[in-house]
Amino acid sequence: MKSLPDTGLFKPAPSRTEAKTDMTTRVARQILDLEATARAAKTERLRAARLAQESSTAVAAPKKPARKRQTAKS
């Protein structure tokens, strides 16, 4: 005998505890995704600011270190 295709009509409803844990998991994942997105945006913003600062300071020639003065020996 052939088995009937699973249509999903007779799926058991999750218990009250399972429904709460599913909701908690879904909310926690949303929070983590939002934090990851905010962290990535902040990283990109800071990287752009650092590159802009480095490019503006790279234009000015670095100063050569001053020569040490030699003391006369007695």
| DSSP string computed for 3-68 | PPP--STTPPPPPHHHHHHHHHHHHHHHHHHHHHHHHHHHHHHHHHHHHHHHHHHHHSPPPPPPPP
List the chain pLDDT tens, one digit each, 74 residues.
677 666 767 777 888 888 899 999 999 999 999 999 999 999 999 999 999 998 888 655 567 777 777 776 65
Model pTM score? 0.54
